[in-house]
Amino acid sequence: MEYVLGNEWEISPAGGATGDAYFAQYNERKLFLKRNSSPFLAVLSAEGIVPKLVWTKRLENGDVITAQHWLNGEELKPSDMNNQHVAELLHKIHHSQELLNMLKRLGKQPLEPEDILFELKQSLSAFAHLVETPEIQQAIARLEEDLEHIKYDNKVVCHCDINHNNWLLTESKQLYLIDWDGAMIADPAIDIGMLLYWYIKEEDWVEWLNRYGIEASEDLFRRMKWYVTSQTIMQIIWYTSKNSDKEIKHWLQYLHHLLIND
C-alpha cells in the first residue's frame, strides 16, 4: 500500500478474513483502505450508509484500491441494537432504490429460499456427522416443509450479516453499517429476523417493527424464523469447518431452541 500513498504514510493491517483491508495515517489524516471493494461501495457512501469514499485508484495489475474516511468510533454492543437509529438505518437500506439498482447492474440475482436450502444441503454434504445430527435433520425437514409458505416477491437490498460488530457509531453519533461483501437482493426478513432473534426480546418485537416502519404479522414471523433457522445451520457448518467446538455446541443448542419453540 506504500506505493499507492507514499512512504510518509503509516500503514497497518485492519484485520478481516481477506487480509485486504488497511488503516493508513499521515499526521492528522486517517484513511481506511481496501483492495478490490465492490463498485457498490460508491453508492453506499453517497447514501450515507458507510463512511465517505475519498478516492478510488486502479493499479497496473488490475487491482482497485478504495480509500474511505477512517472515523473514530466504536462497534455497537448487543444491548445497543434496540436503538431507534438502528431500525431507521435498516429501513433506509431496505427501501433504497439506488442501492437496489446498483446491485442489479452488478449482476446480482434475487436470492430465493430454494437457493439457500440447496446451498445448505451442499455444504452439509461435506460433514457426514452433521447430516446425521438429529437437530440438523429435523431443521432441514422443517425448512423443506415450510418452503412453499415463505414466498415473498418484494426483494430488497439485504446486508445479510447485521451482527452488532458491523455497526459503527462515530464520536459525532453518526451510525454506519459496514462490511457489505455479502450483500444480496433478498427478502428483508433475512436482516430483520437475524436482528430480532439475536438481539431483541420477543416481547419487544412489535415495538421494534413499528420503529422500523412495518406491522407485525404471522407471515413475517414465519419468514423470519425460516431464515434464522437456515442461518443457524450455516453457523454450525462454518464453525465445524474451523473445529470450534464451543461455538458448534452453542449454535446446536440455539437450533434446538428454535425447533422446540415452533
Query: Degrees (nearest 5) of the Cα angle 127, 128, 132?
Result: 120
Within the chain, residue ranges assigned H as helices are: 2-5, 40-46, 84-94, 97-105, 113-124, 128-131, 134-146, 189-199, 205-212, 218-241, 245-260
Distinct helix (H) and strand (E) counts, the chain: 11, 10
Task: Give the Cα separation of 67 and 35 in Å (integer).
Answer: 9
CB neighbours of residue 155 within 10 Å? 18
Which residue among the candidates 80, 161, 187, 191 is catalytic per the annotation? Answer: 161
Residue 146 is among the residues annotated as catalytic for this protein = no
Determine the residue type at 135.
Answer: E
Query: Degrees (nearest 5) of the Cα angle 35, 40, 42?
Result: 85
DSSP state, residue 109: P
Task: Give the Cα separation of 8 and 25 in Å (integer).
Answer: 9
Give me the active site residues, please: 161
